[in-house]
DNA sequence: GAATTATAACATAAATTTTGTGATTTTGTG
DNA sequence: CACAAAATCACAAAATTTATGTTATAATTC
């Protein structure tokens, strides 16, 4: 077992149990404590966990769990399924907006196949990826970089979006309940709203687990979206609220690889 | 001599003579032909040269010579010297603008040390680097990505810059003659001018070899700059023109490592 | 089709990264 | 405050990765 596998595994343990003991994992992987110390140190530096005496924890509520580097590691198969379904709405030649989030960066990857295409985004991961792909016109929105979301936000971002126009915007959300989608961060909400305002079609791409939660700011009314893509059917109350409106719902199926 | 040095040297040879022979350079560096084959293969893949039977050429006029990946490899010691001198104008806490160009990205690297600092840039290399440095507030300008310059340009870029204000702008130029600096690309010129307009101090950072050349568009009058940093004294005519004006000239010295 | 050059595959060498050990310091606890 | 457990440090050893060379085979040029 190699270093990175071991570290990934440590994270998995941590996600399951919130805490691990150093002696424990050293024994489990058959390596010295020092090696585990180094693993934990590096992961801590990467912002994934917090070292405590005798082990490490992943404390919710702190920056850690909400950090993009952490979320990036989670449920990548669901993300891929969502991204592929979302991409089916796009034809070559279109102009698309993609917002922040690790789900969105997977979508960015997938969309790079649909060239020629114009991608407008504030998502740093997508910029980095799309840069190298010919046939993709990449338009960055600019703004102040946020390490927490790995994307750019602020007045500059919003102003840039207000001067642009896309065929379709893909919006993600960390929480939704009833007819509303939520987000905890004001700057992020504004950027997403600006994208929606600047696009013909609006598409919400959301993990089914996010339903039943709320957050400080209302991001949008679900009925504002032309399409909602999720990995499971929407909860009954939400489905009922949307019934009869113009919002289509699509369920992404995981393609078992 | 290490791999990268050897490759750098191959490029230098190529720049001087337009073509190299494989047997030649294998003998010169005292390595096997196979190694040189691999060097040339990789450099070709990087878009720097073109392999031909028995050697390689660098055909000007094609994308190669003007490509940023090519320029990136040139004269890195001069760039570092220029960057370090430029950085001496900056104090922690300042807001600086840095434009496109490989020289500028070196400057970005160096400035990341001066934290806390706010960096405003359209340079993709700097964004990628500064992102990971805490204590650096990174503000991207947005715009359409240009693979040729590895930076963002266009209306969005200019609009973003027009709403911002920095303490100092570092501008680079590929050509200067008499009292004027030049650039071949209109969009690039506009972004540089927008940066200058949005900054208190203006500083031109320019390799001495660039003097005596011109290009399609005038970028700026050298007298507009508060400081000009170069690696050798300015040519007499230019120096005379600037004499008595408010422009300071600084010569960067290479620190032999 | 002979000579030369290029590619591919594998072995070896060099460099880098990762790990373990033991000494030393820090931390928490009674 | 003293003790034990844990963490850190510094260095050596091991493992892995990367770079290079060698040889055999294929492709090109003339």
Query: Do residue A35 and residue A80 come from a single domain?
Result: no
Tokens representing B67 are 């490509």
User: Is the omega angle on the peptide bond into residue A52 within 30 degrees of 0, that is, cis?
Assistant: no
Query: Do residue A139 and residue A13 come from a single domain?
Result: no
Among residues B12, B28, B59, the one where a domain terminates is B59
Q: How wide is the angle at C-alpha B216 spanned by C-alphas B215 and B221, nearest 5°? A: 70
In this structure, what CATH number is given to the domain that contains residue A189? 3.40.50.1360
Identity of the residue in A131, A143, A155 whose CB atom sits nearest the CB atom of B145: A131
Query: Do residue A48 and residue A81 come from a single domain?
Result: no
Query: Do residue A93 and residue A35 come from a single domain?
Result: no
- Which pLDDT score is estimated for B70? 58
Residues with CB under 7 A from strand D: A 2, 22-23, 33-34, 37, 41, 51-55; B 2-3, 6, 30-35, 38-39, 53
**Domain count along chain A:** 2
Torsion sign, CA atoms A198, A141, A204, A189:
negative
Query: Do residue B137 and residue B20 come from a single domain?
Result: no
In contact, A119 and A130? CB cutoff 8 Å: yes
Is residue A25 in some structural domain? yes
Cα–Cα distance between B109 and B50 in angstroms, integer?
31
Query: Do residue A111 and residue A182 come from a single domain?
Result: yes
Tell me how far CA of residue B83 lies from CA of A115, A168, A219, B125, in angstroms.
38, 42, 44, 15
pLDDT digits (tens), chain B, 257 positions:
788 889 888 888 887 788 899 999 999 999 999 999 999 998 888 777 889 999 999 866 555 555 555 555 566 678 888 998 999 999 989 999 999 998 998 899 889 878 789 999 999 999 988 887 768 899 999 999 998 899 999 999 999 999 999 999 999 999 999 999 999 999 999 999 999 999 999 999 999 988 998 999 999 999 999 999 999 999 999 999 998 888 999 998 765 43
Is residue B69 in some structural domain? no
| Cα end-to-end distance, chain A, whole Å | 23
H or E element that contains A16: helix A3-17
- Which pLDDT score is estimated for B49? 86
Question: Picking from A184-188, A214-218, B106-110, B181-185, which range would have the lowest pLDDT averaged per residue?
Answer: B106-110
Across the beta sheet with A19-21, the strand order is A19-21, A55-57, A50-52
In contact, B81 and B255? CB cutoff 8 Å: yes
Query: Do residue B166 and residue B82 come from a single domain?
Result: yes
Query: Do residue A158 and residue A219 come from a single domain?
Result: yes
B45 in contact with chain A, both atoms CB, cutoff 8 A: no
Question: Which nucleotides along chain D are within 7 A of a protein C-beta?
Answer: 5-10, 16-17, 19-23, 28-29
Which residue out of A44, A156, A157, A162 would a mutagenesis test of the B interface target, given it has the greatest number of B Cβ atoms within 10 Å? A156
Cα–Cα distance between A160 and A142 in angstroms, integer?
7
Cα–Cα distance between A172 and A65 in angstroms, integer?
18
Is residue B215 in some structural domain? yes
In this structure, what CATH number is given to the domain that contains residue B12? 1.10.10.10
Among residues B13, B31, B59, the one where a domain terminates is B59
B29 in contact with chain A, both atoms CB, cutoff 8 A: no
Interface of A with B in 133-172 (CB under 8 A): 134, 137-145, 147, 150, 152, 154-157, 159-160, 163-164
Cα–Cα distance between A159 and B132 in angstroms, integer?
25
Query: Do residue A29 and residue A98 come from a single domain?
Result: no
Query: Do residue B197 and residue B85 come from a single domain?
Result: yes
- Judged by CB atoms closer than 8 Å, whether chains meet at A156 and B141 is answered as yes
Question: By three-state DSSP, how is residue B149 classified?
Answer: coil
Residue B157: its chain A contacts at CB < 8 A? 142
Query: Do residue B52 and residue B88 come from a single domain?
Result: no
pLDDT tens for residues A86-130? 999 999 999 999 999 989 988 998 998 887 899 999 999 999 888
- Judged by CB atoms closer than 8 Å, whether chains meet at B145 and A134 is answered as no
- Which pLDDT score is estimated for B69? 55
Residue A15, pLDDT > 80, answer no
Cα–Cα distance between A177 and A215 in angstroms, integer?
10
Query: Do residue B198 and residue B80 come from a single domain?
Result: yes
Residue range(s) defining the domain that contains residue B167: 75-251
């Amino acid at each position: 077992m190699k270093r990175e596998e071991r570290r990934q595994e440590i994270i998995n343990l941590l996600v399951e149990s919130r805490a691990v003991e150093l002696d424990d994992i050293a024994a489990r992987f058959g390596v010295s404590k020092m090696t585990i110390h180094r693993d934990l140190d590096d992961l801590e530096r990467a912002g994934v966990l917090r070292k405590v005496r005798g082990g490490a924890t992943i404390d919710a509520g702190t920056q850690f769990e909400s950090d993009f580097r952490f979320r990036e590691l989670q449920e990548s198969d669901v993300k891929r399924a969502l991204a592929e379904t979302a991409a089916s709405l796009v034809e070559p030649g279109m102009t698309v907006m993609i917002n922040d989030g690790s789900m969105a960066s997977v979508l960015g990857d997938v969309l790079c196949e649909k060239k020629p295409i114009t991608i407008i985004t504030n998502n740093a991961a997508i910029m980095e990826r799309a840069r190298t792909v010919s046939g993709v016109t990449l338009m960055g929105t600019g703004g102040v970089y946020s390490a927490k979301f790995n994307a750019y936000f602020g007045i500059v971002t919003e102003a840039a979006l207000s001067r642009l126009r896309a065929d379709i915007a893909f919006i993600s959300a960390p929480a939704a309940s009833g007819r509303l989608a939520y987000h905890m961060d004001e700057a992020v909400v504004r950027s997403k709203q600006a994208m929606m305002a600047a696009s013909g079609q609006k598409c919400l791409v959301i993990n089914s687990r996010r339903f039943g939660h709320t957050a400080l700011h209302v991001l949008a009314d679900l009925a504002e979206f032309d399409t909602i893509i999720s990995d499971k059917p929407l909860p009954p109350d939400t489905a009922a609220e949307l019934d009869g409106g113009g919002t289509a719902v699509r369920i992404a199926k995981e393609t078992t690889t």
